[in-house]
Amino acid sequence: MNARAVLLPLLVSGPLLAERGTVTGTVTAFPSKYLAETVVYLRDAPPPRAPRRHRVRQKGMSFLPHVLAIAVHDAVVFLNDDTVDHNVFSPDGEKYNLGVFSNGEARERIFARPGVYTQQCSMHPEMFSYVFVGTSAHAAVVDGDGRFTIPDVPAGSWKIAIWNPRLSAPDQTVIVAPGGTAAARFDAN
């Protein structure tokens, strides 16, 4: 293989990666039981990278994960990994109904517009989840302790916000240095 063919992609991507950093932080709330439904995201971040495919499983009469953060134009594959038939529909935004499917079957949906889409199963009304579709890929779902990490953030000053179906907090500004880590803390109520 030609050495230039190997080095050229490294030379081109090297400076771009060095101009990026990470945003980490925590979200606190009372009651804390709603923390796991929180998405932290950058407002007005650069447009997304090439679309990606994500997976949501229907297992144990639940959607897993319960909250998924994706970028506009990404696809979600809904897989029925349960012993009973399920359905996936959303009454939000671009309303859709993917029909009924059995164990081992899957349906795919491409999300063309930003927004929050509640996923429901018409056969089991207790089943629901959320797909947060951002204008960029710079988002993260917090863990059970409210911690989050958003990697690969372009250097600069960014507005950072949270989405949660029950909680809110004021937006903040973070300054991401090339190769650095910026911290944010949200006290949601």
Domains of the chain by range and CATH?
21-46+143-189 (2.60.40.1120), 49-137 (2.60.40.420)
Confidence category of residue 45, pLDDT binned at 50, 70, 90: confident
Give the pLDDT confidence score for residue 74 in this predicted structure: 97
Task: Specify the pLDDT at position 186.
Answer: 98
Residue 47 has pLDDT above 90, yes or no: no
pLDDT mean over 62-72: 97
pLDDT of 3 strictly over 70: no
Q: Please give the average per-residue pLDDT across 94-101, as a whole number.
A: 94
Residue range 117-154, pLDDT digits in tens: 999 999 999 999 999 999 999 999 999 999 999 999 99
pTM confidence score: 0.88
End-to-end CA distance of the chain: 58
Mean pLDDT of the chain: 91
Contact by Cβ (8 Å): 160, 23:
yes
List CB contacts of 141: < 8 A, sequence separation 6 or more. 36, 38, 39, 65, 67, 68, 69, 132, 148
Residue that has been written with the tokens 């190769």 in this structure: 179
Q: What is the pLDDT of residue 151?
A: 96
Count of positions (residues) in the chain: 189
DSSP 86-149: EEEEE-SSS-EEEEEE-TT-EEEEE--S-EEEEEE-TT-TT-EEEEEEESSS-EEE--TTSEEE
